[in-house]
């Protein structure tokens, strides 16, 4: 079953503002997992909203196949009960034991159906052998078990039981008690592990939590000259940083500057030229080329370079300014903002300043049938063969391309604004409603995401990565729709976008867009 089919509407969803009567507080629509929202509306809790986005609303009786035998039951709770009584396998307890999220559960079910292990074998497993993208492909068509919400497994068992079987109700209550006890145990284990953490109120795993060996591949990707050539050749990017630093050189003169993720050292040298004393930090091996570059330009007296992660190295000084080019595709991809926040909290003096200090994210609509046919419709007829099953997999992967100005078919809307002097890493997960106005008749083929960057200094500098501006190496992030949607001039297109990190690959993003009562899921990685 395609993930895009028969998506139910959300219940009790907060109404989307009328574009012709916007709220007085223009930030009232913005929310984050750590209370970034400036409004006092308690209904804007984005953590609850994200969970609401992922709920399945249909309570119909649906036949479910056991993972150990060919027996079908009328619904998931009855099938779970059968697995316990018929095979001695307590599925809810097993899910809690491994701390599975929805993706883990999907992989596990497909692993069970494909590999057919016995209950005894599964219970003896000491590692998540199903943790492989190979097991994301469904084995059974329309496998109802894959859509079961493991986050609410206990309440769902009780709430979806068909009939008035008192013994089954009692069994479900027992399962609830088991799960509650196991959750308490897991919570105590988590608290024990994090008891010595110096970071308070952290609810998501961040880049700063990763072990260096986990992140080796990311830093290795910056060791080759190609990526630095691409960034340095991006005039919008590089000249904006140059102008922000040099036009405000009286402000930086004699000050201490931290260049975080310094790469080849270009921002360090701009800062030195402005009269600052600079410390550059980078984990990539490119730091050794940066050392040679600094010497070549006779700046070694004012620029000190250190190799390592900012979270791991020791720096005695604190800094008046922290400059960093941390932005990734769709702004938040790569998660380097976590390191900037860490540096801000640990190495910026009171009254110090970040460069840049603010950024905004936007969404707009695109009509590009040529690109749609190239990436999506292509699979409908490949040398005379149908490969339409590839569509859903292709659509899930957001693409990064330069969108032609003439392809923009709607207005844009701001979906998030970050004050980098105040935010926490938790704020990088958020939910926002959006509304767009069609600029002409046509076909909406995708939503497009981009961001703007601001250096709010005495001589301010800013730049945009949007499709109406000079292209940058960030390009734009494109979220294709499964089918083009006809729009008319002046029509309002409204929806909701939720952005969160992948739970295991925290540098990557999961994006959900709800549009016309359907939910579309994307990956930015």
Instruction: List the catalytic residues.
Output: 325, 334
| Half-sphere exposure at residue 418, Cβ-oriented, CA atoms within 13 angstroms | 29
Distances (CA, A) of 437 to 30, 214, 469: 19, 44, 19
Burial of 151 (0-12, 13-18, 19+ CB in 10 A): middle
Backbone angles phi, psi at 126, to 5 degrees: -115, 10
Per the structure block, which two tokens stand in for 209?
A: 């939590």
With 0-12 / 13-18 / 19 or more C-beta atoms within 10 angstroms meaning exposed / middle / buried, residue 229 is exposed
CA dihedral 200, 206, 212, 217 (to 10 degrees): -170
Q: Half-sphere exposure of residue 51, counting CA atoms within 13 Å on the CB side?
A: 10
Query: What's the CA gap between 112 and 146, in Å, rounded?
Result: 12
H-helix segments, 67-101: 76-87, 91-98
φ/ψ bin of 261: left (φ > 0), alpha (ψ from -120 to 50), beta (otherwise): left
Whole-Å CA distances, 4 to 480, 486, 513, 522: 12, 18, 11, 11
Measure CA of the first residue to CA of the last residue in the chain; give whole Å: 24
Q: Residue 458 to residues 9, 250, 348: CA-CA distances in angstroms?
A: 48, 10, 20
């Amino acid at each position: 079953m395609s993930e895009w089919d028969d998506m139910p509407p959300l219940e009790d969803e907060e109404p989307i503002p009328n574009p012709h009567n916007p709220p007085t507080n223009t930030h009232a629509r913005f929310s984050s997992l750590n209370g970034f929202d400036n409004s006092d509306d308690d209904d804007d809790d984005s953590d609850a909203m994200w969970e609401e986005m992922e709920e399945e609303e249909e309570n119909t009786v649906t036949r479910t196949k056991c993972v150990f035998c060919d027996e079908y039951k009328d619904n998931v709770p009855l099938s779970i009960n059968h697995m316990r009584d018929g095979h001695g396998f307590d599925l809810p307890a097993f899910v809690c034991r491994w701390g599975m999220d929805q993706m883990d559960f999907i992989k596990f079910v497909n692993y069970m159906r494909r590999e057919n292990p016995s209950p005894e074998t599964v219970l003896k497993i000491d590692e998540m052998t199903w943790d492989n993208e190979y097991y994301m492909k469904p084995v059974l068509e329309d496998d109802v078990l894959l859509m079961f919400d493991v986050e609410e497994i206990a309440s769902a068992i009780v709430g979806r039981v068909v009939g008035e079987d008192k013994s089954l109700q009692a069994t479900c209550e027992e399962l609830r008690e088991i799960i509650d006890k196991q959750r308490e145990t897991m919570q105590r284990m988590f608290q024990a592990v994090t008891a010595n953490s110096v970071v308070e109120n952290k609810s998501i795993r961040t880049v700063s939590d990763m072990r260096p060996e986990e992140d080796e591949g990311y830093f290795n990707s910056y060791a080759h000259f190609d990526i630095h050539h691409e960034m340095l050749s991006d005039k919008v990017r590089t000249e904006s940083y140059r102008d922000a630093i040099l036009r405000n050189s009286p402000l930086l003169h004699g000050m201490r500057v931290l260049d975080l993720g310094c790469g080849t050292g270009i921002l360090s040298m701009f800062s030195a030229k402005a009269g600052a004393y600079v410390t550059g930090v980078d984990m990539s091996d490119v730091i050794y080329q940066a050392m040679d570059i600094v010497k070549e330009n006779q700046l070694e007296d004012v620029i000190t370079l250190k190799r390592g992660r900012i979270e791991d190295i020791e720096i005695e000084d604190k800094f008046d300014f922290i400059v960093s080019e941390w932005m990734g595709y769709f702004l938040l991809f790569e998660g380097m903002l976590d390191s900037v926040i860490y540096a801000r909290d640990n190495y910026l003096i009171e009254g110090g300043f970040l460069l840049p200090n603010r950024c905004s994210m936007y969404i707009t609509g695109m009509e590009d049938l040529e690109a749609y046919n190239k990436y999506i419709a292509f699979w409908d007829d490949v040398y005379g063969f149908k490969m339409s099953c590839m569509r859903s997999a292709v659509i899930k992967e957001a693409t990064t391309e330069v969108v032609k100005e003439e392809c923009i078919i709607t207005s844009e809307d701001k979906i998030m604004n970050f004050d980098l002097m105040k935010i926490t890493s938790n704020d990088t997960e958020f939910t926002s409603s959006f509304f767009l106005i069609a600029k002409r008749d046509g076909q909406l083929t995708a939503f497009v995401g981009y961001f703007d960057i601001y250096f709010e200094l005495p001589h301010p500098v800013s730049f945009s990565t949007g499709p109406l501006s000079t292209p940058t190496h960030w390009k734009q992030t494109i979220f294709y729709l499964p089918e083009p949607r006809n729009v008319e001039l002046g029509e309002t297109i409204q929806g909701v976008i939720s952005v969160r990190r992948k739970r295991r690959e925290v540098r990557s993003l999961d994006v959900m867009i709800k549009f016309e009562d359907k939910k579309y899921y994307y990956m930015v990685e």
